[in-house]
Every structure is written in structure tokens, then in C-alpha cells.
Amino acid sequence: MNFSLSFRSLFTLALVLHSFLGSALALDGYVVANVDGKRVYVKDNRRPSLYTGDFGDCMGSSSINVTRFDAAYYKDNMTVLFHLAGDTALKNESIMMYIGVFAYGESRFDLTFNPCNANIYSACPIEAGTPIEASGIIPISQNDVAGIPPIALSIPDFEGEAILRIFANSTQSEIGCFSAIVTNGATFSHPAAVGSILGVFTVIAIISSFATAIYGDNVTVMRKHYAHSLSVFVVFSVWQHIFFTGALSMNWPSVLVAFWSNYAWTGGMIYAESMQNTINNFIGSNKGNTSAVGAAGVGVANPYLGGGYDIHQIYKRNVFPKALNIPGLMKRSKYNRVARYLERTLAKRELADAADGFAWYGQPVKPGLPLPGNYSGFAGTLAPENIPASNAFMTGFLWFLVLIAIVAFSVAAFKFILDGLSRSKVIKDDRLAFFRANYLGFTALAILRTLFIGFFSMVFLSLFQFAYLSSPGPVAIAAIVFLIMLIGIGGLAYYACFYRHKVGNYVTEPDRLNMEKKKVLKVIPWFGFSRSSKGPRSEDKVYAGSIPWWKVHSVVGTKKSIHDDEGFTKKFGWLASRFRRTRWWFFVVWLIYEFVRACFLAGASGSPITQVFGLLAVELIAFVGIIIMRPFEGQRLNLIVVYLLGFSKVVTIGLSAAFDIRFNLQRIPATVIGVVIIVIQGVLTIIVLIAVIIGAISSYMSVTRNREEFRPKRWAPIREKYFKHMDKKEKDVPTPPPPPPQPETPQGPYFSVNSIKRVAKIEDEDAEFISEIYAGANPSQLSFSSHKKDIVGDVPTGRARAVSRAASIRSQMSTTSLPYGARVHRASWSSRDFNEHFGNEHRRSTYGSPALPEGRSRTLSGSVYNQFTGSSDNVSNCPITPVMLPVDMSQSSSPAPFSRSRSKGSQMKPRPQLQTLVSENEIPPLLQTRNAKANTNPNAST
């Protein structure tokens, strides 16, 4: 008995201490959690793995007014926390609650419970005048969240919804429905960071373009440099293309809408609480129907949201309301009333503290916005900005007026700042004198240029106002703005063409446009166009027909370039200055193209299929046409607008067609396609940012073109090249065709002999042979070099001697049959020749040569030599044979005269000279002719 009382007392004391400690820890921001099977305390303000954001009424006539609805899933302790606050006009109604979590269009978690057995006493039952405060921590198992993939906890812009449905037990019908977005905190939407970066680069582009437009005093030169700077019009065209892609009435994935929110400011969609309140008061209670553009609206019945529900499944299920289990508490004891009381009190306190300390929750969405988690159409694109679709036109129009005021004020203020700097001697008095003298004209042109840049956005927003909302006030303003943009800007464009046509003495004549059948890549049928005025039809081509056309030409023989007309540039340079000389009228084509785009985006917003495929056809035609025209004078502008921007538009719209609800594309493949679009548009953004930096550098080069010194100096060659490029592009003449290929010269043999190296022979080492060669040379010919070696007797001395005659004699024809500079060698003979002329008595002996006939000398004199080589005597009767000189061999004991070895002390005997005589075959043709005449006429004189 005593032991029992003692045990009960200690147990009661422990529970009391536990309650106090739990309360203290809860006050310090900690709650009880069960992590990995262990009871620990974790911060209650930690970010959940998944949690809800803004919520809205998805029933339209809910009997319960909910002011707070949030839920969070904590992976660390496998719990779901929820909180519900509101009020009702129903009296004493028991209810059932259903919570469902959907991820990428599929149900991932659902729970049905009775609030009476879940410690939600304010809803058990609900009564009029009694605030509903429902909160709880629901432990879950791995099976309950098995449908949630792990990637959902980290992927950017997780696409999920949490739906709370409330049913009345008395009628077994739905009396309340609320939908909230589910997110993990990771997102592509960073307007404060990304939007600011885009804004800074846009301001850089504005300053760079404006600097080239005002610097200088020669209008023609100023226009040339302005045409090659980066156009602000091109920059805004890219930004607005990316953002207004969301105007298509498609069911967009959340990643795309989050990414486009970074560009919302470029379309004038900037949220300001005071401005939105003013617009709401001006519009009134009519907020339009967001379902007209494909988005599920707040306060509208959405019975099929989240796949709908089956009331019979809810009430036929044997659902026993289960009380919330507080992690870590001991099992209830049926024998201890005090323990029961303390347990219930502790549970209620922990639940209340956990719910009150939770900071990751959203707010009720404002009227006119779509349900959170639904991003369809232009209304869904505007949802992250908290701007209703009904307020889109007025928001864009007011910010456009603010932009015009900023532009006008900035230009005028810059002029007065320059005047102040000039008076204070900070800058020279003549600095930007042309701009300061004409600043009012520059201000007007800057405003007109701003209207031209904002033409598409204002026309689209005006037409969207007509199609979406019929409130009289906004519609009247939209009509005025539409007429100003269409008739004002369009009329000025027409007047620019008329002015050029009139001043330039142009006439318009009828013409025909021939359609030629072609094939692209030899497979795809295509059509080519040619004017009849350019040339007659060719018989080699197949034509599909022709349509009436016209041609405009000047009646003057030589027409002046439009960019050389200073009057036209001053009036309409804001329209035509950036385009090529032959494409100056392209601004008219661009305005028509932008107007057609706006009509499809806004006018066909209620017909998604017509809208997307009609716009795709327009973009394809524009893409091909702009590639053919290449309208801009600046090469970078053609690269961005003609190729990159056109490609991005065509591909983006083509991929966006898959998001139509008729195709019922699953949300995960839709997200993948959305990421592809983000990559394409992200690459385009990066290229534009790089072009802005390059444009700033080129503008710096342009405004320093009159300086003698340019910094940095290593950029000076680049600047000169850039200026030459501008001069070439300004002329806008076609590149001359390459020169025709030269005929191929026939190639010679695969080798050629350029020199011959003579190999040394045995005779070259014989001094007697060398002396014979030099001794037998023609003394009357000067064919050796000026440093010919001197010869003493029969042996060369090796000393050089000078030539005794003038060098001009070398130009005379050789008196021998040998070519100039040739070397005399012995002719070859045979024993047959020797026997024929001298007989047996003159045969060569073993040790010497046969004796010469009587009357023959040892050597031939120069006259005799000339007689045989250069005279006109008849030499046919004179035998010309090699002659051997006699040699006395009796006094010599040496072997043959050509022996290479001689005994020491023996005396070398002179070798008999072998005279070379000319053979009949070597007689020149002239001598052969004369000899032939002499033979036929023996009486001819010699």
C-alpha cells in the first residue's frame, strides 16, 4: 500500500516536471520530435521539407470562411503539421475533414479524420460565432509518403497542391474547399536578383545607344555610329518575347512561370500595393473570369480539382477518428486520472505552441487571381506578381507613362547638367554643342523611339483588355491607347515612306511577282520569288504562277542614299537609322508583324489551338522573311534579331503547343519540356548580355573617334578595324564575286636536273693529261674565267693570272664548235680508225705510240686548228684522224706511260700528245651545206 502510494506520487511529480520542462523548451522555440527512433527537441521554425504557400477558395460558396490554412511535411521526424483558422455561420454541425497532397498531377498522400477525436475541439462541432482553431501534428509512416519521390524535396519549383475539403455529416455533402500551393523553397523566381541584373544591363544599353546618338556634329557620321551600337529596341524585343510567351492560353508548368517572373518588369508588370488598390477601385468588383484563358479562378466551383472526390467513398469507409499521438509520451494508464489529465494538457500545449510558432505559410490570394498551383494562360503567368489579369492593362499603361516621363526628363536634365558643367569650366564650352543646341528635338525623338519600342506591349495589353474584361472605364482607356499606338505610330511610319517617296522623286509602277517551284534539300517543296522587272522568265525554271506586284524607283538617274539625306534622318531617324540603306523601310514590316502577333496572342486567347498554331505560322513566315532581308546595318543586331530571336520564337511556340489541355500531357514530361524552353531562352539572355557589353565597348570607341590618343592602346587596331567595318557596311553593296579560278598549268616531270657534279677520274691526277688539256685549248677564244691558272711549260703553276683582253669579247660567238665554257677532252677512237689511216707500220707498240707521218708536227698550231674548226675551206678531202707521236722508250726502264707507280729516282718522260680532230659528224650544218655544193661544183673557188 505504501509502496503503491509512493510510486504514484513519484510518477505524478515526474509528469509535472515533464510538463514544465516541455513548456520551457517550447517557449524557447523547440518542440518534441522523433528522429531516427530517438526522442529529441528540434527548432519549430526550421524550414520543412514541403510546405504550403498561398491558398484560395476552390468551391465558390463555402460555408466556412477560412483565414489561415497551412500544412507542412517534415522528413526528419516523419510528421505532418497543419493549421486551420476561420469562422462559419452554421449552427452545431459535425464535420469530417479530408486533406490530400498532389504532386505533378497525381495523388501522393491523403488523410480523412474526425476533428472531434483529433483534439480540434473548436470544430467539434462547428458553431456560428465560435472561431475555428484547428491544429495538429500527425505522425506518418514511410508507406504514407512512399508516393513522394525524393527529387521532389530539392527540385526547383516543385509542382504540388494541398487540398482541404470539409464535409457536413448531416447532409454528407461538401461545404468547404480550399487549395494551397505546395513548395520546397527552391525556385527559378528571383526577380530581386535576376531582374535587377537585367535592369542594369538594359540601362547600360540605353546609355551606350544614347551616347552614339548625341555625340558629334555631322548628322551622317552620327547616324553611322548610332546604327552600329546595340539597339535598346532589340534588347526589349528579347525580354518581352520571353515574358509574353506566357500569354499563350496553355497549362504551363510551374518552372516556366517562375522563370518568366524575372522578366515581368520589361512588360510593365511591376507590383505596387498602392497602384493595385487604385486600379481595383477604378475597375470595381468585376475581376473577369480567369477560366476564359484556361486558369482556374478563386471563388469559382472546381469540382474536379485534384481529380475530384467521391462522397460515398468518404462516408462508406469505416473511418474511426483517431486521436493525435504525441511522440515520446507514455501510454495512457486507465488507472491514473492525473496522468490522463497531464498528458492531454501537455499534448494540447505542444500542439498549440508548434502551430503558433510555425512561420512557413501563405496568405489568401486576392480576388481575380487563379488558384495557387494553377498556372494556365496569361492569368497564371501574372500570378507570381500578384497582379490579376483584370489589372494587367492598367498596370502596364501606368508604368509606360512613367517610363515616358523618365525618358523625357532624363534627356532634358542631361542638357542642363552639361550647361552647368560648362559654366563651371569642368568641361569645354563646345562639348556636345550640337546636342545642347537641339536638345528639344532629341527629347521628342527619344519619346517617339520609346513609343516605337513599346508598340507591341501596349497593343497586346489593349487587345487583351477588350477580350478579357468589359468594364467601361478600362475599355475606354484601352481604346484610346490602341488608337494612339496604331494610328499614331503607324501613321508616322506611313508618312516617313511618303516623305521619302516624294522628296526622292520616286514613282510607283506595276510589276509582277513570279512564283518559282523549288526544292529545299532536294526533297522539301518550296517556292522562290522573282520580279518580272528584274528579268524575263527563264525556260529552265518551273513557275507556279504570278501575282500582281509593284516596284518603286527613282526617276533621277543617280539616286542619293537615304542615310545621306540629313533632313530625312533628323525627322525619321528614330525609325530608319538602324536599318540598311536598301532596307530602310523595314520598320513598316516590323510594325505589321508585331501587330499580327498581338492580335493572335490577345484576340485568340479564348481559343488556345487557334492561338498557338496561328502564331507559329506567323513566326515561321517572319523568321524566313527576316533571314532573307537581314535588315539591320549592324552585324550584331542581325545576329540577335534575325537568327537567335527568330529561332527562339519558333522553337518556344512549337514546344508550347504540347501544353494544351486537349493533349493531356503528364506533368513530369511537361516540366521537362519547360526546362528545355528555359535553356533556350536562358542562352538567348546570356548572348544578349554579352552583346550589351560588346556594344558598350564599341560605343566607347565611337565617342572617342576624334581623340588622337586612345586608351587602352592595345585596342587601337581593333578600333581601326571596327571603323573600316562600319564604312563597308554603310555602303550596303553586295560583296564582289570571287575571281574565276585560274586554269591549271600542266605540270612537268616529277623531277628536274638543276646541276651535275662531276666525279673525279684517274686522268685528273695525271699532270701530263692536264697539261695536254690546257695546251690544246684554242688560244683565240676567251672562254675561261678571269682567274684562269697560269701554265709554265706543260705544268700549271696554280697562280691566277688576269685576262689580257677586255671582258666584252666574251659576248662574241665562239670560234669553235664547243659551247661557251666547255672543257676540251680527247675524242674516242678505235683500232679500226687507226689502221684505216696509217697502216700497220703505225700501229701502237707495247711501250709507246706509232710514229707520225713525215711533215706532221707534234702539235697543231692555232691557225691549223682554226682551219679545221672555223674556216670555210673544204675539209672533206682532209683526213681528220687521231695522230700518235713517237716516243723513244729505249732510255726509260719504266713501264707503260700510264702506270700509276714509278720507281724512286726515275725520270718521267713526256707523254706523247694525243691531238683531237673534228670528225665529219661534228661539222656544223652550214659547212656541210657548203661542202655539198663544192662536191657538185668542182670549179667553185675555195
Rounded CA separation 546/366 (Å): 58
pLDDT for the residue 891: 43
pLDDT for the residue 544: 81
- 326: alpha, beta or left, given left = phi > 0 and alpha = psi -120 to 50? beta
pLDDT for the residue 446: 95
Contact 406, 91 (CB under 8 A): no
Cα 629 to Cα 383, 431, 580: the distances in Å are: 39, 39, 10
Is residue 393 predicted with pLDDT exceeding 80?
A: yes
Rounded CA separation 818/834 (Å): 25
Rounded CA separation 478/339 (Å): 71
**Least confident residue range of 113-127, 379-393, 394-408, 413-427:** 113-127
pLDDT for the residue 78: 77
pLDDT for the residue 734: 75
- Nine-digit cell at 942? 675555195
Contact 232, 208 (CB under 8 A): no
Residue, of 560 and 541, whose pLDDT is higher: 541
Rounded CA separation 442/444 (Å): 5
Each residue's pLDDT tens digit, 407-427: 999 999 999 999 999 999 898
- Rounded to an integer, the average pLDDT of 605-612 is 90
Most confident residue range from 131-135, 331-335, 897-901, 911-915:
131-135
Is residue 688 predicted with pLDDT exceeding 60?
A: yes
Beta strands in 690-806 (DSSP E): 789-792, 795-800
Each residue's pLDDT tens digit, 635-667: 888 888 888 999 999 999 999 999 998 888 888
Contact 468, 288 (CB under 8 A): yes
Q: Which residue has the cell 556634329?
A: 217
Residue, of 37 and 399, whose pLDDT is higher: 399
Query: Hey, CA dihedral for 600, 262, 409, 433, is it positive or negative?
Result: negative
Each residue's pLDDT tens digit, 20-47: 344 444 445 666 666 666 777 777 777 8
pLDDT for the residue 29: 63
Q: How confident is the model at residue 115 (pLDDT cuts 50, 70, 90)?
A: confident
pLDDT for the residue 292: 78
Burial of 305 (0-12, 13-18, 19+ CB in 10 A): buried
pLDDT for the residue 28: 55
Is residue 874 predicted with pLDDT exceeding 60?
A: no
Residue, of 875 and 469, whose pLDDT is higher: 469
pLDDT for the residue 806: 46
Q: Are strands 30-35 and 38-43 parallel, antiparallel or unpaired?
A: antiparallel
DSSP state for residue 542 in the 8-state scheme:
-
Burial of 185 (0-12, 13-18, 19+ CB in 10 A): middle
Phi, psi of 333 (to 5 degrees): -110, 120
Give the 3-state DSSP-derived string for 76-108, with helices as H, strands as E and coil as C: CCCEEEEEEEEEECCCCECEEEEEEEEECCEEE
Each residue's pLDDT tens digit, 578-588: 999 888 999 99
pLDDT for the residue 366: 87
Rounded CA separation 103/667 (Å): 9
Report which secondary-structure segment, H or E, holds 862.
helix 862-869
pLDDT for the residue 19: 42
Compute the mean pLDDT over every residue in the chain, rounded to the nearest whole number: 76
- Rounded to an integer, the average pLDDT of 349-377 is 73
Is residue 822 predicted with pLDDT exceeding 80?
A: no
Contact 892, 848 (CB under 8 A): no
Share of the chain above pLDDT 90, in %: 32
Q: Angle of helix 455-468 relative to helix 232-244, nearest 10 degrees?
A: 30
- Give long-range contacts, CB 8 A cutoff, 24+ apart: 681-688: 681/242, 681/245, 681/259, 681/648, 681/652, 682/259, 684/238, 684/242, 684/644, 684/645, 684/648, 685/198, 685/238, 685/242, 687/640, 687/644, 688/201, 688/234, 688/235, 688/238, 688/640
Is residue 786 predicted with pLDDT exceeding 60?
A: no
Residue, of 310 and 697, whose pLDDT is higher: 697
**Beta-ladder partners of 168:** 95, 173
- Rounded to an integer, the average pLDDT of 252-272 is 94
Phi, psi of 272 (to 5 degrees): -140, 125
Is residue 611 predicted with pLDDT exceeding 70?
A: yes
Task: Give the residue from 736, 846, 726 showing the smallest Cα distance to 220.
Answer: 726
Is residue 8 predicted with pLDDT exceeding 60?
A: no
Is residue 594 predicted with pLDDT exceeding 90?
A: yes
pLDDT for the residue 111: 80
- Rounded to an integer, the average pLDDT of 706-711 is 84
Is residue 885 predicted with pLDDT exceeding 60?
A: no
pLDDT for the residue 816: 53
- Rounded to an integer, the average pLDDT of 187-204 is 94
Report which secondary-structure segment, H or E, holds 570.
helix 566-576
Is residue 623 predicted with pLDDT exceeding 70?
A: yes
Residue, of 743 and 323, whose pLDDT is higher: 743
pLDDT for the residue 941: 43
pLDDT for the residue 541: 81
Q: Which string of DSSP letters, residue by residue, matches 292-332? A: GGTPPBTTS--TTGGG---HHHHHHS-----PPPPTTPPPP
pLDDT for the residue 556: 59
pLDDT for the residue 910: 54
Q: How confident is the model at residue 575 (pLDDT cuts 50, 70, 90)?
A: very high
Is residue 322 predicted with pLDDT exceeding 60?
A: no
Q: How many CA atoms lie within 13 A of 854 on its CB side?
A: 0
**Least confident residue range of 266-280, 717-731, 748-762:** 748-762
pLDDT for the residue 898: 40
- Rounded to an integer, the average pLDDT of 166-183 is 88
The residues near 812 (Cβ < 8 Å, ≥ 6 apart) are none
pLDDT for the residue 881: 44
